[in-house]
């Protein structure tokens, strides 16, 4: 199901970095995200809800664009 918040996301396993591209065009890298956390978000029914509850408050981030 398409997300109304998350346009796309990519995971770099070598750097444990989750890149999230929002529908608004903003891009953030979340640092130190374990692969199982990415997989849980990827398979989540609501990517925006998962991001808010499990990623945003728990991992450092860098604003890349927006």
| The pLDDT value given to residue 38 | 97
Nearest to 33 by CA among 7, 59, 54, 6: 59
pLDDT of residue 4: 82
Which residues form the domain of 60? 6-65
What integer pLDDT is reported at residue 20 of this predicted model?
Answer: 97
- Give the tens place of pLDDT for each residue, 5-58: 899 999 999 999 999 999 999 999 999 999 999 999 999 999 999 999 999 999
Residue 61: half-sphere exposure toward Cβ, Cα within 13 Å: 19
Number of domains in the chain: 1
- Per-residue confidence at 3, pLDDT binned at 50, 70, 90? confident
In a domain, 1, yes or no: no
């Amino acid at each position: 199901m398409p997300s109304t918040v998350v346009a796309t996301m990519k995971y770099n396993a070598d750097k444990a970095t989750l890149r999230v591209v929002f529908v608004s065009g903003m891009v953030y890298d979340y640092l130190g995200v374990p692969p199982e956390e990415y997989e849980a978000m990827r398979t989540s029914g609501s990517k925006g809800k998962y991001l808010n509850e499990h990623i945003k408050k728990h991992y450092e981030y860098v604003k890349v664009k927006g």
